[in-house]
Structure 1
Amino acid sequence: MDRLNAMAMLVKVTETGSFSAASKALGVPLATLSRKVSDLEKQLGARLLVRTTRKLSLTEAGIHYVAASKRILEQVEEAERQAGGEYTQPKGELVITAPQMFGRLHVLPVISEFLANYPEIRIRLLLADHNLDLIEEHVDMAVRIGRLPDSTMVATQVGSVRVITCVSPALLSNIPALSHPEDLLELPCVTQDTNRNATTWRFKQPGSSNSLELAIQARLSVTNSDAALCAAIRQVGITRLLHYQAADAIAKGQVQIILPEYEPSPLPIHLLHASRGIMPLKMRSFLDFAAPRLKDSVSALQSPPSG
């Protein structure tokens, strides 16, 4: 068991990139962590890590050993789950990730209902607008919005969401009539971006498979959808959002959709999980429970395009 513990510590050091970061992540004193890895190297008779003041890197032997350690630790974890009954009854912890606003509005209500029905399951919900690595972060299931790259992951589509352009009615009344996306190039816009380059907005040409891409020069650039929506409501400019992000503001008349005939194709929404043989019952139970409810929740947003 000490050997497995040392393996886990070594893997965490390589994942975090430093002994100090791994020490904080594991809650283990730095001196203990360093000694365990050194003892492991002595037992193996091979150097696994090259430590300098600036960086940490693996030797060739270390690369192979860490890869093997990950496989072994995954097999041990799988065996423990089987022994703990996760394959015979739905229980244990589930780690789920979702985009922040979608998770709060659509995933959290489903999780609340699920927990009321499955008292022996605990859930850790990670809300993040960047995609977490399911394997590296030990995530059981993810909600992903957008086209999925080819991978070994298993995906269940629960719907799709429109990509809309919206504006405050007050601002709309003070600008020239909009008839084409290129009209936006002359108007104040609010974009979501983390760098200083122009943001590209893609539109679909009506009656054609061709698309139109516009490099939008932002009057205001923000880093999340909440801020973009708030700025649009305050008449700072026109913004581009996913429909669910603006649905409440649209219903209240704070913003309205423009140029709906030029909307790009809706983005798919999937529940995603790693393919690891037999699925633990806690995951199967959640997938079977959540998928139809998310479909109902998402389909309620799919109103006909309107301006």
Structure 2
Amino acid sequence: MDRIDAMRAFVSVVTEGSFSRAAELLQLSPQLVSKYVSQLEDKLNVRLLNRTTRRVNLTEAGMQYLQHAQQILASIDEMDQQLGGLHQNPKGTLRISAPVSFSIKHLAPLLAEFQKQYPLIDLDLQLNDRKVDVVDEGFDVVLRIGELKSSSLVAKHVAPVRVILCASPDYLKQHGTPTCPEDLKHHRYLHYSYMEMDDRESIFPWLRSKNIEKSGAFQSNNGDVLIEAAIAGAGIALQPTFIAGEAIRKGQLVPVLLDFEPKVMGLYALYAHRKLLASKVRCFVDFLDGYFGAPPYWDAFVDTSAIVQD
């Protein structure tokens, strides 16, 4: 027996005055309505209704139960209406975790447009380049860049991410332009500290520790800092084009070893797998789809066909 269905059948019998009219209202057979009420009485071990051939009357226990049942059903109906409203007009707080540099350079306009379309959704954006736990840390959506390992999370591909090596023209003029991976051992490498050697080698299979200059090492957990250091002539940086693209377009940086450019990674939206996904999450994930273009607009900064290496 479904307790809510039985409770609704009992209240309908009382308000309609008969089993037949209650059955018509609920679009059930009179026999099923009678069965629901009888099962409810058996469950409670008390008689709720006195039945005659012409009418039904509440017992004292039935009068008490009716008041509570009406309150419970009203609360359930109100909740259903509110949740239905959330589906039609998504609202609530959407907690998002996203990479620092990508968010600063490319996410703010998207979020502004998203809130114009969904003004009832509040945004809580947390910037962090480390790998966060979607469920344990209470995020609705996590934007992550890289090659994803299998997990119970749903991964929505948002945009391709190119990663290239680049350096300033002055640095290359002084130290020479590498033409093969082995040449990197003669150059200073600007290391992104959140990228482990294993991860780096999965992106650039030919980039081995023996090929990297160790003296005067420069590392940071922020890609923008590394790009600024590269512009200043500190060495060669390995960074995604969504960070380096503008400096390349301005001629402040020059891509190197383009013939060895690795396979493209991806920007993904991760969220917990749920059969009934919250509307605020679904709206945001759908809004991301195709927003950055194909190819993404930041790659328009990198016209590799116009680049001539020394």
Q: TM-score range by the shorter chain?
A: 0.5 to 0.7
Correspondence for 2:277: 279
Change (3 A) 1:185 1:142: same
Greater CA deviation, 212-221 or 291-300?
291-300
Q: C-alpha offsets along residues 226-284 of structure 1, whole Å, 9 cap, x if unaligned?
A: 22111111111111111111111111111110111111111111111111211122112
Taking every aligned residue pair, what percent have the same amino acid on both sides?
Answer: 31
The alignment partner of 1:282 has SS state of helix
Offset at 1:178? 2.1
Alignment partner for residue 208 of structure 2, among 214, 230, 235?
A: 214
- Tell me, yes or no, if the aligned pair for 1:143 and 1:269 is still in contact at 8 Å: yes
Distance in 2 between residues matched to 1:101 and 1:297, nearest whole Å? 19
Partner of 1:229: 227
Q: Give 1:175 deviation, angstroms.
A: 1.9
CA deviation after TM superposition for structure 1 residue 174, in Å: 1.4
Measure the CA separation in 1 of the matches of 2:177 and 2:253: 16
Instruction: Name structure 1 gaps, 5 residues minimum.
Output: 1-79, 206-210
Which amino acid in the other structure matches residue 225 of structure 1?
G
> Who wins on radius of gyration, i.e. which is larger?
2
Whole-angstrom CA distance in 2 between matches of 1:201 and 1:185: 16
Amino acid at match of 2:158: V
TM-score between the two structures when normalised by the length of structure 1? 0.65
Instruction: Give me the CA root mean square deviation.
Output: 2.8
Note the C-alpha offset of 1:304: 5.6
**Structure 1 residues 274 and 81: alpha-carbon distance in aligned structure 2, compared to 1, 3 A threshold:** farther
Which residues in structure 2 correspond to 1:231-270 (within 5 Å)? 231-270=229-268
What is the one-letter code of the residue matched to 2:213?
A: Q
Query: Which residue is 2:153 aligned to?
Result: 153
- 1:154-180 Cα offsets, whole Å, 9 max, x none, are 111122111100000011111234210
More helix by share: 2
- Partner AA of 2:152 in structure 1: T
SS, match of residue 94 in structure 1: strand
Is the alpha carbon distance of 1:123 and 1:296 closer, same or farther for their aligned partners in structure 2, counting shifts above 3 Å?
farther
Using a 3 Å threshold, how does the CA distance of structure 1 residues 260 and 82 change in structure 2: closer, same or farther? Answer: farther
Residue number in structure 1 paired with 2:132: 132
> In structure 2, do the counterparts of structure 1 residues 126 and 295 end up closer, same or farther at CA, with 3 Å as the change threshold?
farther
Letter aligned with residue 101 of structure 1: S
* 5+ residue gaps, structure 2: 1-78
What's the offset of the Cα at 1:149? 1.1
Alignment of 1:20-59 (within 5 A): none
Deviation at 1:222, TM superposition (A): 2.2
For 1:224, the aligned partner's letter is N
Q: Secondary structure at the match of 2:96?
A: strand
Instruction: Give the equivalent residue in structure 1 for 2:163.
Output: 163
State the distance in 2 between where 1:161 and 1:242 align: 7
Aligned residues: 223
Q: Is residue 200–residue 213 contact of structure 1 (8 Å, CA) maintained in 2? A: no
- Measured after TM superposition, the shift of residue 217 of structure 1 is 3.4
Check 1:186–1:149 CA distance in 2 against 1; reply closer, same or farther (3 A cut). Answer: same
Closer, same or farther: CA 251–81 of 1 in aligned 2, 3 Å? farther
User: Which runs of 4 or more aligned residues in structure 1 lie more than 6 Å from their structure 2 counterparts after TM superposition?
Assistant: 197-200
- Please report how far the alpha carbon of residue 91 of structure 1 lies from its aligned counterpart in structure 2 after TM superposition: 0.9
**How far, CA to CA, are the matches of 1:122 and 1:133 in structure 2?**
21
- Native 8 Å contact 1:202 1:264 kept in 2: no
